[in-house]
Amino acid sequence: MVEIHGVAKSFQKTVKQSTSEVRALADVNFSVRENEFLSIIGPSGCGKTTLLKMIDGLIPCDSGEIVINGKKVSAPGPDRAVVFQTFALLPWRTVLANVEFSLELRQIPKAERTQTARNYLKRFGLEEFENHYPHELSGGMQQRAGLARALAVNPMILLMDEPFGSVDAQTRQLLQEELLELWQRERKTVIFITHSMDEAVYLSDRVVVMTPRPGRVAEILDVPLARPRSADEVRRDPKFVELTNYIWNTLKKAMENHA
């Protein structure tokens, strides 16, 4: 269980020697249940990515706290793994060595980490590409490698920062389906940042809608769609249409209030 209590964050922004303070997040409160798939959606600049980095422990909160299973987050830990929007693969390593990277940092012996990495590559259909370099793969395959790297350390919580934001629409849909299938099998807690309403509703149990900067929680919505969800059927479901419309209106209202 991930609890976010009154979290706020500001940044110093320096433009031409004049420093000003930008409030990225103000008093964010919500919690994520175990094995829940939760999406966070909001306009760009609302601090979604900042919030995710704070849950990962990469940056500290100014005030408030984030608690995971009773323990306050102060640094990255083995219970969490991040999937990055720009994949963040090491260009000088092969796909296999990239997936091994996360295991290497956890001091797993060489033979074992190669085997684990191969297992995950296989699961994402990348076994034939293990000796390729990232730039030789398509965006979708690169992100599959990114996913394999995150899952290889077997985290309880998967933090995903607009992971499908930089691939084309068809690949995006395939990746969404693969992710759901995987989540159905492995049952992990997923916190998923997106700015696609469609994606948020299709994947999630609940959707957190955020306001523009400084980001706050505008509304938390349940997604009342049965699982397993098939991509084509779900999108024709009236409840799906209704919910995406509702999120759109909530976002619009939040943005109008802001402007």
Q: Which residues bind other proteins (CB under 8 A)?
A: 53, 56, 58, 76-78, 80-82, 84, 86, 88, 90-93, 101-102, 104-106, 133, 135-136, 153
Instruction: Name which of 72 and 239 has its Cβ closer to other proteins.
Output: 72
Instruction: Name which of 161 and 199 has its Cβ closer to other proteins.
Output: 161
Phi, psi of 172 (to 5 degrees): -60, -45
Q: What is the dihedral of CA 41, 42, 45, 46, to 10 degrees?
A: -100
Q: Is 104 left (phi over 0), alpha (psi -120 to 50) or beta?
A: alpha
* Cis bond upstream, residue 224 (ω within 30): no
Instruction: Provide the token pair at 127.
Output: 């076994």
For the bound state, the minimum distance from the C-beta of residue 154 to other proteins, rounded and expressed in Å, comes to 13
Instruction: Name which of 153 and 209 has its Cβ closer to other proteins.
Output: 153
Instruction: Name which of 67 and 88 has its Cβ closer to other proteins.
Output: 88
Cα–Cα distance, 236 to 212 (Å, whole number): 30
Cα–Cα distance, 234 to 231 (Å, whole number): 6
Instruction: Name which of 24 and 180 has its Cβ closer to other proteins.
Output: 24
For the bound state, the minimum distance from the C-beta of residue 55 to other proteins, rounded and expressed in Å, comes to 11
For the bound state, the minimum distance from the C-beta of residue 133 to other proteins, rounded and expressed in Å, comes to 5
β 18-32/2-15 pair status: antiparallel
For the bound state, the minimum distance from the C-beta of residue 102 to other proteins, rounded and expressed in Å, comes to 5
For the bound state, the minimum distance from the C-beta of residue 130 to other proteins, rounded and expressed in Å, comes to 15
Q: Of the candidates 252, 255, 161, 247, which has an alpha carbon nearest to the alpha carbon of residue 206?
A: 247
Instruction: Name which of 104 and 219 has its Cβ closer to other proteins.
Output: 104
For the bound state, the minimum distance from the C-beta of residue 53 to other proteins, rounded and expressed in Å, comes to 8
For the bound state, the minimum distance from the C-beta of residue 109 to other proteins, rounded and expressed in Å, comes to 16
Instruction: Name which of 25 and 89 has its Cβ closer to other proteins.
Output: 89
